[in-house]
Amino acid sequence: MQSQNNPRRFSVARKSFSLALVVAAFAVGGAAQAKTLVYCSEGSPEGFNPALYTAGTTFDASSNNIYNRLVEFERGSTRITPALARSWTVSDDGLEYTFKLRRGVKFHTTKNFTPGRSFNADDVIYSFNRQLNKNHPYHNVSGGSYEYFNGMGMPDLISRIVRVDSYTVRFVLSKPEAPFIANLGMDFASILSAEYAAAMLKAGTPERVDLDPVGTGPFQLVAYQKDAVIRYKAHPGYWAGRAPIDNLVFAITPDSSVRYQKLKAGECHVMPYPNPADLQAMDSDSEINLLRQEGLNVGYLAFNTMKKPFDDKRVRQALNMAVNKGAIIDVVFQGAGKPAKNPIPPTIWSYNEAIQDYPYDPQRARQLLREAGAANLKTNIWAMPVQRPYNPNARRMAELIQADWAKVGVEAEIVSFEWGEYLKRSKEGEHQTVLLGWTGDNGDPDNFLYVLLGCDAATGANRARWCYKPFDDLLREAKQTSDIAVRTRLYEQAQVIFKEQAPWVTIAHSVWFQPVRREVVDFRIDPFGGHLFYGVDLR
Amino acid sequence: MLRFFLTRVGLLAPTFLGVTVVAFIFVRLIPGDPVEVMVGEMGISPERHAELLARLGLDLPLWEQYLRYLGGLFQGDLGVSIVTKQPVLHEFFTLLPATLELSFCAITAAILLGLPLGILAATRQGSAFDHTVMASSLAGYSMPIFWWGPLLIILFSGVLGWTPVSGRISLLYFFEPVTGFMLIDSLLSGEPGAFTSALGHLILPTIVLGTIPMAVIARQTRSAMLEVLGEDYVRTARAKGLPASRVIGLHALRNALIPVVTVIGLQVGVLMAGAVLTETIFSWPGIGKWMVDSIFRRDYPSVQGGLLLIAAIVMLVNLIVDLLYGLINPRIRHRN
Amino acid sequence: MSATATLTVTADARRELREFWFYFSENRGAVAGFAVVLAVVLTAVFADFIAPHSPVEQFRDHLLQPPAWQDGGSWTFPLGTDAVGRDMLSRLIHGSQYSLLIGCIVVVLSLTFGVLLGLVAGFSGRAVETVIMRVMDVILSFPSLLLALVLVAILGPSLGNAMIAVAVVILPHFVRLTRASVLAERSREYVTASRVAGAGTPRLMFSTVLPNCMAPLIVQATLSFSTAILDAAALGFLGMGAQPPTPEWGTLLADSRDLILRAWWVVTFPGLMILVTVLSINLMGDGLRDALDPRLKRS
């Protein structure tokens, strides 16, 4: 408590040093007294309440480091582990989830707020009711749009939340939903302090809750200067043990070559999103460890199956065979990707290894097209205007596909719109074929298959507008049970149907690269694309 | 004088109203849907989409949106950023000091260098010095600063390692911002070395942003001086045997400064445009970079508010220059 | 009679031209600038013949090859290659077409509309004049690049739209200049004389007054030419101008920003081309002003 917001901590060791010396000393790992890890982040967070926003920069700055959830994903994997909930039980009808909460969990003490009690059921109820209940006094604070909560269908799913006792909470659902537990590990489900919220409401400044965050997580916010820097210190009373590093600094550096420059100079220890052009140099630099892991994502080309001739599965299969995925991986991903055969990435459970992808076979493709009466097809390929983790250069990808299809007599025009327009128009089905992709939210196969290919989404996120009963039935059945073995079998079957029906050309799963300096110990790539610093140490 | 002042301000009112209309309409014309950009691939149901648009006030008829916006404007309310959910005015004034600090340093450097160079070049018209100054100022005037910046970074940060790559101050220093001006705050913090660090981070951006104003000021000073030096009263003073330094210092310079002041005032708009590029190059957390980001993120209220406030600053500075000009030069005052 | 009139006009023009060239050629900088501009124009016109390679052909075996005089370079690619193996020299040569095109189109657009609006403002009643001039004030209240950026955001990023945006941004200078010249000329005797002689307003505008305002407009047009190239390149640099793989110089720069430390040549040469071209045009503009100015003073 004494060290609260103490600016001198950062500067003890460098009185009377010249600037150059200071930078040099800093480069070899900071002062001896305090371990400070610097992360060159790619942008400013939108804010510090993860429920309100959708950007990765926000989650890194908030949920990933200053908050906890009832359940969490084990660092570096998609496996669920208990966090603020010690354990949970599910009723036989799959409608009631009862959580036993951890005792003695301390909230952060900040300059605005000194917690008077430990974490309990009230905090859970506050955190969810704020998003769920339109009449909640906090519902409209700070813009009050909870896009992830809504996007995951929570308002319809959760019928009520019951406080059984101080350390027991029960969620009552309106229908069985097996991925529910995984959803509670997502950023929007972070637990905020109800006591702090009440105090701020009383003081007439409820928006402070979202600006000066108070959480239970391993780090607490010290200061934020927009577009420049975010400073954290380790939460001394963290329930899982104090973090090995003392201070965490986000140096906001939007330009990736500048980030690399700073990493080389030792001005930061970890950087996200390296330039593909720099990967080779990073790999050969002995000062830098280049970590890599397959991302939880898929890049695809969806056929609009409501439009002719893409309602004919032979046409879709033929165009699958006409695409040379190897060339795309080389040229577009520059090796940082893996050809995809399933709509879910191999890092997710129930990934069906047995599936055979369509071979690259222009001749067979031509023949199939002739059979379907679509020999001289004229169509379009929509290419995204932005760079995404699952597709670093959609335009170039489209050019390659265009050339491949031309070889089987299909003439395709490349179309592009501004990103917001692109999303909207493709959702409305104006395209014939569209390039898009998806990064998983919670590591559940349902989060790919049902969200992207289910009948409910056929006029929304399902850009293939593909509603196929046998496939959809399997997905619905898998939602009903929480038995992983049963669900795995159902999803494996669904992937067989998907491949045979070919509503997409599954293109690639990208590989994440994460350069960290040599002195960084035990940094793990988060499959969800976040950056978590609890458990990371400096040598 | 009061009459002069009132006419100038009166002229400004319709222009300002025009600026509000332009900022409003432009921003509505930018294609793309902020709600869609916000939710990304996840998508959003049509009902929810409509609800969010309504919350942002984007579902109303245009004229009603405009009236609301104008009404808010008079209460100092420029709306709330779609991205950060923070008031635009607050965001703007958080970032403004960084831009002001940089612009101030740039224009000061430009005056301190450009003015003497221009004067010296004028007094030695036709000399090698004059030609060098003229050539380099024309080169400065023609400089693509988005190239000049990276070039200086390669040389001074990359090869020589003299200056930091980006940012406003070394991360080692940490103190609460008091004024928002890093040079002042670093002094107030009392931390040894902080001021030097802040200064070191300012050098390259100042050079890059100051290049064009310096070139313009040097050229303008030279030609104003030449004109004045050719006038009868200066020739008379010279013929009377006054020393050259006195003629230049007392008579010529004072009169030559009048048009130069105007030019310096006009550089404010140039600085703001330059700030967009300079801040992007050096990751400088100011309003230029914020505007670019907001445009790319379709953050309507921020783009709209930013355009308006920046235009207001430019207009204000032009007004001040105008008034100063009228103060120095009575002929102007009475012309209208 | 008309034949003799034409004769005197051409003789006049020839004499004026000779006089102009006399003043212009006195200024060595201006002549040098003119020479460089001429060279750039020739390069642009004959780009297809001069360039050793196609500007878009990718030599996959020669990625980021340095210029010929450095280790690892070869004379096949005198200025090296870019990230996907395209020849830098050929891209720069073809890029000159875009820069000149941008300059020409922007200047023609804003000159045409600027002169028209300026003439209308100068000749019409107070109401119309006020509206036009206030609108110009509004445009001038926004920093030029920022306004251009927003305009391109509205129209969509492309080379054509970037040119329109830049043309709008520099328009007010032409309007103000034309109006000021018109106001100055309107009270002169020759205008009053032709009005008395029964000339209508359009005739007064275009045949009587406009030719006498040409000198400052020509100078302004030259200077705007360089501004246009710079601003369009800046838009390209921010990703809002010409789109890759167009070899426009600003876009080349933006494209290779991430290579700044690995391959100096992909960043240095495009910027140098912009600087040299803009500098030459400005030198030429200075010379033009000096050469046209004495005539203005005498008239």
pLDDT of C35-83, one tens digit each? 999 999 999 999 888 888 888 777 767 777 888 888 888 888 888 887 7
Cβ density class A290-300: b for 16+ within 10 Å, e for less: beeebbbbbbb
> Above 60 in pLDDT, residue A16?
no
Instruction: With CB atoms and an 8 Å threshold, state whether C150 touches B307.
Output: yes
Token duo for residue B59:
């579902």
Give the span between the Cα atoms of C262 and A283, in whole angstroms. Answer: 15
Span A160-192, pLDDT tens digits: 999 999 999 999 999 999 899 999 999 999 999
Residues of C in contact with A418 (CB under 8 A): 156
Amino acid in position B210 = G
| Residue A500 burial (CB count, 10 A) | 11
- A508 pLDDT band, cuts 50/70/90, is very high
> How does pLDDT run across C210-243, given as a tens digit for each residue?
887 787 888 888 888 988 999 998 988 887 877 7
Instruction: List the A36-39 sheet strands across, edge first.
Output: A36-39, A247-251, A229-234, A219-225
Nearest residue of chain A to residue C260 (CA atoms): A257
Is some CB atom of chain B closer than 8 A to the CB atom of C260? yes
The residue assigned the tokens 């508010």 is B305
Q: Looking at beta carbons, which residues of chain B come within 8 Å of A142?
A: 85
Query: SS3 for A486?
Result: helix
Q: What was the pLDDT predicted at C293?
A: 66
Residues A464/A303, Cβ–Cβ less than 8 Å: yes
Task: Write out the DSSP string of A334-348.
Answer: TT-EEE--SSS-TTS
Cβ of residue B98 closer than 8 Å to a chain C Cβ: no
pLDDT at B325: 74
Show which subunits contact B, needing at least 3 CB pairs below 8 angstroms: A, C
From chain C, pick out residues whose CB is under 8 angstroms from the CB of A281.
262
Half-sphere exposure of B6 (CA within 13 A, CB side): 3
User: Does the CB of A438 have a partner CB in chain B at under 8 Å?
Assistant: yes
- In chain A, the largest separation of any two C-alpha atoms, in whole Å, equals 82
Please give the residue that has the higher pLDDT: either A501 or A4.
A501
- C-alpha–C-alpha distance, residues A202 and A206, integer Å: 8
Chains in touch with A (≥3 Cβ pairs < 8 A): B, C
Residue A250: predicted pLDDT: 94
Give the torsion sign (CA, C249, C250, C254, C257): positive
Q: What is the pLDDT of residues C164-205, one digit of tens each?
A: 999 999 999 999 888 888 888 877 778 778 878 877 777 777
- A18 has a pLDDT exceeding 60: no
The answer to whether the Cα torsion of B158, B160, B166, B167 is positive or negative is positive
E-strand stretches of A153-295: 158-165, 168-173, 219-225, 229-234, 247-251, 288-294
Q: Can you name the residues that pair with A538 across neighbouring β-strands?
A: A520
* Structure-block tokens of residue C85: 């193996």
Beta bridge partners of A224: A230
Kindly report the three-state secondary structure assignment for every residue of chain C.
CHHHHHHHHHHHHHHHHHHHHHHHHHCHHHHHHHHHHHHHHHHHHCHHHHCCCCCCCCCCCCCCCCCCCCCCCCCCCCCCECCCCCEHHHHHHHHHHHHHHHHHHHHHHHHHHHHHHHHHHHHCCHHHHHHHHHHHHHHHHCCHHHHHHHHHHHHCCCHHHHHHHHHHHHHHHHHHHHHHHHHHHHCCHHHHHHHHCCCCHHHHHHHHHHHHHHHHHHHHHHHHHHHHHHHHHHHHHCCCCCCCCCCCHHHHHHHCHHHCCCCHHHHHHHHHHHHHHHHHHHHHHHHHHHHHHHHHHHC
Please report the residues numbered 111 through 150 in chain B whose beta carbons come closer than 8 angstroms to any beta carbon of chain C.
134-135, 138-139, 141-144, 146-148, 150
Instruction: Check CB contact of A277 with chain C, cutoff 8 Å.
Output: yes
Check residues A516 and C14 and name the one with the higher pLDDT. Answer: A516
Using pLDDT thresholds of 50, 70 and 90, give the confidence band for residue A21: very low
* CA nearest to A316, candidates A330, A301, A326, A328: A301
Tokens 């997710």: give the residue. A348
Asked if A407 reaches chain B (Cβ–Cβ under 8 Å), the answer is no
pLDDT digits (tens, 9 = 90+) for A237-291: 999 999 999 999 999 888 787 888 888 888 889 999 887 778 888 888 999 999 9
Domains of chain B: 20-74 (no CATH), 96-333 (1.10.3720.10)
- CA B325 from centre of chain: 20
- Which residue in B303, B221, B204 sits closest to B255, CA to CA? B221
**C chain contacts of residue B27, beta-carbon cutoff 8 Å:** 150
Q: Which of A123-132, A220-229, C1-10 has the lowest mean pLDDT?
A: C1-10
What pLDDT score does B257 carry?
A: 77
Which of B37, B196, B283 has its CB closest to that of A255? B283
**Nearest CA to A498 among A454, A531, A456, A460?**
A454
Distance CA A425, CA C243 (A): 22
From A257, A278, A281, residue closest to C257, measured CB to CB: A257
Residue B246 DSSP SS3:
helix
- Which of A240, A238, A235, A205 is closest to A222 using CA atoms? A235
Model pLDDT, residue A23? 40
| Contact criterion met (CB < 8 Å) for C271 and B151 | yes
Question: Could you tell me the pLDDT band of residue A19, with boundaries at 50, 70 and 90?
Answer: very low
State the pLDDT at residue C7.
53
Q: Between chains, do A281 and C262 touch, taking CB under 8 Å as contact?
A: yes
Residue B64 is predicted with a pLDDT of 85
> C178 with C122: CB under 8 angstroms?
yes
State the pLDDT at residue A22.
Answer: 38
List Cβ<8 Å contacts ≥24 apart for A449-455: A449/A343, A449/A344, A449/A475, A449/A491, A449/A494, A449/A498, A450/A475, A450/A479, A452/A343, A453/A343, A453/A498, A453/A503
Please give the residue of chain B at the shortest CA–CA distance from C274.
B144
Highest mean predicted confidence (pLDDT) among A210-214, A253-257, C253-257: A210-214
pLDDT value at position B235? 74
B48 touches chain A (CB under 8 A): yes
Residue B5's DSSP bridge partners are none
Q: Do B15 and C141 touch (CB under 8 A)?
A: yes
Whether residues B43 and A10 touch (CB distance < 8 A) is answered with no
pLDDT: which is higher, B252 or A87 = A87
From A37-51, A354-368, B75-89, the region with the lowest mean pLDDT: B75-89
CA–CA dist C219, C131 (Å, integer):
26
Euclidean distance between CA atoms B306 and B78, whole angstroms:
9
DSSP reduced 3-state for A507: strand
> Is C277 in contact with C99 (CB distance < 8 Å)?
yes
The tens digit of pLDDT for each residue in A522-535 reads: 999 998 889 999 99
Is residue A532 packed enough to be buried (19+ CB in 10 Å), middle (13-18) or exposed (0-12)? buried
Residue-wise over C164-198: b if at least 16 C-beta within 10 A, else e? Answer: bbbbbbbbbbbbbbbbebbeebeeeeebeebeeee
How much is the pLDDT for A99? Answer: 96
Interface test with A, best of B45, B53, B102, B165 (most A CBs within 10 A): B165
Question: A22 contacts in B (CB within 8 Å)?
Answer: 170, 172, 193
Paired with A173 in beta bridges are A158
Residue A12 has pLDDT above 50, yes or no: no
Instruction: Give contacts of C 147-176 with B, CB under 8 A.
Output: 149-151, 153-154, 156
In which band, very low, low, confident or very high, does the pLDDT at C109 lie, cut at 50, 70 and 90?
Answer: very high
Interchain contact, B44 vs A147, CB within 8 Å: yes
Count contacts between A and C (CB, < 8 Å).
17
What integer is the mean pLDDT of C110-139?
Answer: 88
Per-residue pLDDT, A8: 33
Nearest CA in chain A to C60: A331
Rounded Cα distance, C162 and C251, in Å: 12
Q: Determine the pLDDT at residue C60.
A: 63
Mutate which of A5, A419, A436, A442 to test chain B, going by most B C-beta atoms within 10 A?
Answer: A419
Distance (Å, whole) CA B135 – CA B182: 35
Which has more pLDDT, A242 or C254?
A242
A42 close to C (CB below 8 A) = no
Share of residues in chain C with pLDDT > 90 (%) = 20
B173 burial level (CB within 10 Å; 0-12, 13-18, 19+): buried
Q: Point out the residue among A227, A249, A461 whose CB comes nearest to the CB of B171.
A: A249
Q: What is residue A133's predicted lDDT score, i.e. its pLDDT?
A: 92
Q: Distance (Å, rounded) from C-alpha C126 to C-alpha C104?
A: 33
Looking up tokens 């989409």 gives B49
Q: Do A278 and C262 touch (CB under 8 A)?
A: yes
How close C250 comes to chain A (CA, Å)? 18
C258 confidence band (pLDDT: 50, 70, 90): low
Rounded CA-CA distance B140/B270 in Å is 14
* Contact in structure between C146 and B291 (CB atoms under 8 Å): yes
In this prediction the ipTM stands at: 0.84
Amino acid at C73: G
| Residue A124: predicted pLDDT | 96
Ranges of residues in chain B with a pLDDT under 70 are 1, 32, 38, 244, 247-251, 328-336
Q: Is the pLDDT of residue A2 over 70?
A: no
Map residue B22 onto helix, strand or coil: helix
Taking only residues 155 to 174 of chain B, the set having a beta carbon closer than 8 angstroms to any beta carbon of chain A reads 157-158, 165-168, 170-174
Please determine, for residue C130, whether its predicted confidence score (pLDDT) is greater than 80.
yes
Q: Does A281 touch chain C (CB under 8 A)?
A: yes
Q: Report phi then psi at A228, rounded to 5.
A: -125, -65
Which pLDDT belongs to residue B67? 87
What is the DSSP secondary structure assignment for residue B165, as one 8-state letter? S
What is the Cα gyration radius of chain A?
25
Q: What is the pLDDT of residue A339?
A: 93
d(CA B307, CA B320): 20
Q: What pLDDT does B301 receive?
A: 85
Closest CA in chain C for residue A274: C258
